[in-house]
Structure 1
Amino acid sequence: MTDTIPADSDVVVHQGAGLRIGTAPDSWGVWFPDDPKQVPWQRFLDEVVAAGYTWIELGPYGYLPTDPHQLEDELGSRGLKLSAGTVFTGFHKGDDQWQRAWDQALAVAGLASKLGAEHLVVIPDLWRSDATSEVLESRTLTDEQWKKLAAGHDRLGKALLEEFGVKQQFHSHADSHVGTTREVVRFLDETDERYTNLCLDTGHFAYYGGDNVKLIQERPDRIGYLHLKQVDTSLLFDVLKNDVPFADAVTQGIMIEPPHGVPDLAPIIEAVAAIDPDIFAIVEQDMYGCDVDYPFPIAKRTREHIFSCTHFARTH
């Protein structure tokens, strides 16, 4: 396979030094800790193994067992490992948001770190609810809110490192205040790379027209983690033109099975492997609301596609 890293790059990529590819409960339509329409957690774990993955994320706290010994047994019996957990923050709203964020971190990072995970994916609050589609606040932040947002994340990242040895990976998101290229770059400019870096979600960044490979090449020191997904461009512009809430766009299929959308995953995987082959690349195809039988074959085909389109991918 042809290496897509620029020929004049001064970064050396070693053959076989591929990224660790994993998956997440999101790829099975799981958005909430407890929802009778979601796939049961035992079935999720069994199907992850059957689809050929080794690494998973925790998903919404409470979906998988929260007792560390039980979770360790459940993962260990299936040969699975944990890459990260997830929390939600709203630091732009003010200082009172710290306790909310830290309470989540104590639970999620506390559990994940006991199972060897070294990352916490942090998703900012949305300006439009992903549960009700209600508009909750302005779509953009004031300069003062940007300062609060950046300061809050740096504080959280520092505390996570000191308390748990866990690295904060910020996840830009559709219907959030940090989604476009300019917003993501501003967030990076206003935060400290020692404590705050990116979980670059390829689908969410492409949702607002972002060029993933360009961002990786321009800010290689800020890429700490990947979520792999693709956007259906045949639907995207209708979604944007008609101001469709993200949750509704998901049920319409805005995030599509690779390789049927954008961006191409191979150049992204290869560009990040050139930075650090120990970075995780977690498949995360938003499918909330799907039938429980729907995700497994997609997960299997997606893994097969990734490993067929690049040599810079590994299971373990």
Structure 2
Amino acid sequence: MLNKEKVRVGIAPIAWTEDDMPEMGAGNSFLQTISEIALTGYTGTEIGCQYPHNPDVLNEEFGRRGLSAITAWISTYINEKPMWWNERAFIDHMNFLKSIGATLINVSDQSYSIQHCWDTPLANKYVLNDDEWDVLAKGLDHLGKIAVENGMQIVYHHHMTTTVQKTGEIDRLMEMTDPKYVNLIYDTGHLTFSGEDPVEILNKHFNRIKHVHLKNVREDAMKKAYAEGKSFLRSIPEGVFTVPGDPEGMVDFPSVFKILEEKGYEGWLVVEAEQDPDIANPLDYAKTAREYVNKFTGL
């Protein structure tokens, strides 16, 4: 079992309202979402698109429900936009997170990304050249140093359809960045959807993993997305993602939990699965995932 003093279980609100397609779940309000999160036994939440960005409101409403703010996504464009632009946006985001008690900054570089391209097939993702890798690594180290100087920490989100998606790309980013400044989000769903082995990545990069996303994948929907040349966005309403504990999922979570326990993971475990809430009721799926995580971790 994982250490209850050092590991906490949270959830991302993306199952209630889909960040990349906010019309999906637009009727689920901020207060409904965080109330259902608390009701189902989670102690933390990431920040979603339906959440207000007023720290006073967030701190008050989270406090009422015994929730902690975990982190929030920021898109950088280190190879597309000047560093002053990235730095300014990063510092604003960092200060917002700091004001609500978070210490982790969820960073994903969206330079040349096809994540938000409705009709661009998954296979068309961009591959960085050597010079672009150098720019990305140096830029992330620069932003990571700013974070550390402010008591915060970058956790980089490898992600489908971005330039850091595959195993070799994750390896290269970890090799080229300073562990004092840049560490990793470990996302079981994005690794699986990308055709990678989540267990291999967890073993290889455990010392750099400071945050965990527990996301499941439906194999049939994944195979269909590749076979039909679907985009990332088009795969979501067709149910490519689901939560731990869903019998339709294919991720080997028992092995993942075993490694996290054996290696002494400390930090958040965050359930995350963007789905159409009109099809996959967020409250029901949150309950399923919470019970499953408790069964295998004791948390």
TM-score normalized by structure 2?
0.89
- Runs of 5+ unmatched residues, structure 2: none
Structure 1 residue corresponding to 2:99, chosen from 85, 105, 114: 114
- 2:8 is the alignment partner of 1:20: yes
Q: Distance in 1 between matches of 2:98 and 2:178?
A: 22
SS of the residue corresponding to residue 106 of structure 2 reads strand
Map of 1:11 onto structure 2? none
1:272 to 257, 260, 269: 260
Q: Which of the numbers 17, 37, 51 marks the counterpart of 1:64?
A: 51
1:32–1:100 distance in 2 versus 1, CA, 3 Å: farther
**Deviations 1:102-146, CA, capped at 9 Å, x for gaps:** 3332333212212221101112216214253458x8621111111
Q: Is the 8 A contact 1:17 1:273 kept in 2?
A: no
Provide the rounded CA distance (Å) in 2 between the counterparts of 1:139 and 1:302.
33
Give the alignment of 1:175-186 within 5 angstroms. Answer: 175-186=161-172
Q: Which has the higher contact order (CA 8 A, sep 6+)?
A: 1
Distance 1:89 1:73 in 2: 29
User: Is 1:127 the equivalent of 2:116?
Assistant: no
Poorly superposed stretches of 4+, deviation over 4 Å: 14-18, 32-37
In the superposition, the TM-score normalised over structure 1's length comes to: 0.84
Moved more, 103-112 or 148-157: 103-112
Describe the superposition over 1:80-99 as per-residue Cα deviations: whole angstroms up to 9, x where unpaired.
111112100121335x1x23
Aligned to 1:281: 269
Which of the numbers 47, 69, 72 marks the counterpart of 1:82? Answer: 69
Amino acid at match of 1:265: F
Which residue pairs with 1:47 in the alignment?
A: 36
Secondary structure at 2:190 match in 1? helix
Partner amino acid, structure 2, of 1:40: S
**AA partner of residue 190 (structure 1):** M
Counterparts of 2:201 and 2:21, CA distance in 1 = 33
Q: Which moved more, 1:293-302 or 1:185-194?
A: 293-302
Distance of 2:15 and 2:277 partners within structure 1 = 10
Match of 1:232 among 206, 218, 234: 218
Say whether the 8 Å CA contact 1:84–1:118 is kept in structure 2.
yes
Count of equivalent residues? 294
Q: Is the partner of 1:234 in helix, strand or coil?
A: helix
Moved more, 70-79 or 231-240: 231-240
Q: CA deviation at 1:219?
A: 1.9
What are the ranges of 5 or more consecutive residues in structure 1 without an aligned counterpart? 4-13
CA contact (8 A) 2:71 2:97 kept: yes
Cα shift at 1:35: 4.7
Residue 274 of structure 1, CA deviation: 3.8
- The reply on whether 1:200 has 2:186 as its aligned counterpart is yes
C-alpha distance after superposition, 1:48-83 (max 9, x if no partner): 1112111111124xx322222221111001111111
Asked if the contact 2:156/2:185 (under 8 Å) is kept, the reply is yes
The reply on whether 1:261 has 2:249 as its aligned counterpart is yes
CA distance in 2, matches of 1:212, 1:138: 20
Identity %: 25
Deviation at 1:27, TM superposition (A): 2.5
CA RMSD between the two structures: 2.5
Q: Is this contact kept in 1: 2:43–2:66, CA < 8 A?
A: yes
Residue aligning to 2:87 = 102
State the match for 2:60 in structure 1: 73
Question: SS at 1:154's partner residue?
Answer: helix
Amino acid at match of 1:26: I
